[in-house]
Chain A
Amino acid sequence: MKNLFKLFSIIILIITSNSHSFAAEKVEYLKTDWSFKGLFGKFDRASLQRGYQVYTEVCASCHSMKYLSYRNLAEPGGPEFSEAQAKAIAASFEVTDGPNSDGEMFTRPGKLSDKFVMPYDNVKAAQAANGGAYPPDMSVLVKARGGGVDYIYSLLQGYEEAPSNVSLDDGVYYNKYMYGNKIRMAAPLSDGLVEYGDGTNATVEQMSKDVTTFLMWSAEPHLESRHQMGFKAIVYLIILTVLVYFSMKKIWSRVESEV
């Protein structure tokens, strides 16, 4: 029995130490208290709604979010806008549809079932408008970066004057958290850039936190149900394990051998 515990702790140790070796970057990211971390982690609903506002007013002019639909905004576990709100949000976008019976494409107001409207028609158009750099799709951005939410949160606040020994080309900016420190995106946030409906003070730090929370949700829309189910599953497994342990003891008591 003791050996078994030893075995499993060794397994966990090996795996966790192994996975740490992948985090090659040695920069210390800025930390904040994410409500969605931990055993019972949930999204902060108000923060998600504010984050959506930052995304749509700031990021969305360059960054697409092609795997999300407007209906997602009203689904449980997300920003949970009311259905009426989500419909209004969708309707505020022009969606190209068609072809109609005349064979023509036409535009109409968005519906809940539409995917988020993309800022550019294609990658080439996006590159042309951004000095050759493609603003990555943001749907799973948080999972596509080594440092995850901490990295995005830090990057948004990491713009600085370049040190004297670093020379920057036109349209390139210095960011202390960016890989290689050079980034083609100008500092996207400044204090008071958006006006929050709930009266929260829109500091760069606050907006960074809100929009990163929103990006975490967009990458993991089922995070809340995952955490809830995980807790139930593990409690169930532990109870079953204890029951099976005592059954095993009882059964093995018939033979002179240890388990």
Chain B
Amino acid sequence: MSDHDYRPKSKVGQWFNDRLPLLTLANHLTDYPTPKNLNYWWTFGGILTFCLVTQIITGLTLAMHYIAHADMAFESVEHIMRDVNYGWLIRYIHANGASMFFLAVYIHIFRSLFYGSYKAPREIIWIIGIIIYLLMMAAAFMGYVLPWGQMSFWGATVITNLFSAIPLVGEGIVTWLWGGYSVDNPTLTRFFTLHYLIPFLILGLVVLHIWALHVPGNNNPVGIDIKKPSKDTVPFHPYIVIKDGFALLMFMIVFAFFVFYAPNILGHADNYIEANPMVTPAHIVPEWYLLPFYAILRSVPDKLLGVVAMLSAILILAVLPWLDTSKIRSAVFRPLYKQFYWILVADVLILGYVGAMPAEGLYLLIARVATAYYFLHFLIILPVLGFKEKTLPVPLSITEPVLGGSPNLAAARNKESKME
């Protein structure tokens, strides 16, 4: 690796770098060889970093004005919206930022699913990613509780009550979570504390996520191992920096549209009604990004099994690298997997749709079928596909994407090494 050869030019730089090799790190990050064929689906990693930083900065500012008390939380949010300078802007960025964060993370996850980025040697990157995703859901859920509106209160009640499904100790755990016998002030203050903490845990995990990424390097649309650095790669700076920057700006335009012109479209109107333990809203619905899992939860008639199904739906992703038995990474060379992939995308969108609908009649039936298919995809289709599927010939390198009719990757590799 060229990392070790790096030496700062200036004397001061050398003195500093011998004691703390930050400049070596900076050099590693700018020189980092990146596959040159990365498409725009790969720009969402950078976009997600932007989302995290935006949430932390706006969140810190909001925390300076917000009051975590059951009697004052709602009012303090209105104070932010009305009297704090640009408070409305900061809050709308933070609230819509959560949605944009999830939008980006879903694209990021589905990109990984399409191009097989979770496969060896990138399993650890993937598992850290799943932990980040879980923490994001926890942070988003607790953040939604903070304004102390009706949906905050009842959403918190429904979700915390899920723990009561645990046999024997369930009820005790719920009381412990609430800090009382119902969702109340102690619940709000602890949710605020955790909501403040989790983003920094995520930040730490993002560092590990990127660190783990920099060991094998990026996967790429062709999904083959490449030599680094080579004519297949470009240095991260300026090539990927400018491309990520361009995609980020496009993303920010969409983001700005929501913040300035439709700031409440992704929220629920009931959350502008102050929390009232005596009045239950007609439909308790989570935020859009949690709907697929909410649909899975409700599709199982038994409470405990419903919770188990919902958790499994997320945790099953963590073992995905071992469920997918195919040696080929990219769906580009897996004609059958490609079709099942798009069916899965449709399945998750359908789950999201029925999650927003009342759990009855046809909606419930659709939710059940879609839930069953979700698990079928990961537990049966993926493992079997790896053995049965006839994959297309994979190219030798990115620069020579079309290799005349070699169906065998190993043979192709041999040929390559002989040529050198």
Contact = CB atoms under 8 A, between A and B. Distances in A.
Interface residues of B, number: 53
B38 to A, nearest CB: 9
Contact of A144 (B253, B269, B288): B269
**Most chain A beta-carbon neighbours within 10 Å: one of B82, B99, B107, B247:** B82
Nearest to B255: A237
A4 B40 contact: yes
Contacts of A51: none
A241 B260 contact: no
A257 B37 contact: yes
Contacts of A220: 88
A234 B246 contact: no
Given A15-B266, A143-B264, A67 B249 contact: no
B260 A21 contact: no
Interface stretch (A52-60, A90-98, A165-173, A243-251): A243-251
B15 to A, nearest CB: 33
Given A15-B266, A244-B242, A140 B78 contact: yes
A105 interface: no
A15 B399 CA distance: 37
Interface in B246-283: 246-247, 249-250, 252-254, 256-257, 259-261, 263-266, 268-270, 272-273, 282-283
Interface in B15-55: 36-37, 39-41
A14 interface: yes
Interface stretch (B61-69, B330-338, B351-359): B351-359
Given A18-B352, A22-B268, A144-B270, A255 B103 contact: no
**Most chain B beta-carbon neighbours within 10 Å: one of A219, A220, A238, A259:** A259
A145 interface: yes
A7 interface: yes
Given A15-B103, A144-B273, A222 B88 contact: yes
Interface residues of A, number: 51
Contacts of B323: none
A7 B103 contact: no
Interface stretch (A81-89, A185-193, A223-231): A223-231
Contacts of B285: 22
B404 interface: no
A4 B247 contact: yes
B238 A241 contact: no
Nearest to A6: B40
Nearest to B285: A22
Contact of B246 (A11, A18, A241): A241
Nearest to A240: B249
Contacts of A14: 349
Contacts of A231: 260
A76 B254 CA distance: 28
A230 B272 contact: no
Given A227-B260, A248-B246, A19 B36 contact: no
Nearest to A24: B283
A229 B81 CA distance: 16
A67 B356 CA distance: 31
A244 B245 contact: yes
Given A21-B356, A229-B260, A237-B253, A7 B242 contact: no
Contacts of A7: 40-41, 107
Nearest to A247: B242
B37 to A, nearest CB: 6
Nearest to B257: A234
Contacts of B264: 143
Contacts of B37: 257
Contacts of B269: 143-146, 148
16 contacts: A4-B40, A11-B254, A12-B254, A14-B349, A19-B288, A22-B268, A68-B82, A136-B273, A144-B272, A226-B263, A230-B257, A237-B253, A237-B256, A241-B250, A247-B242, A259-B243
Interface of A: 3-4, 7-8, 11-12, 14-15, 18-19, 21-22, 24, 39, 67-68, 72, 136, 139-140, 143-146, 148, 179, 219-222, 226-227, 229-231, 233-234, 237-238, 240-241, 244-245, 247-248, 251-252, 255-257, 259
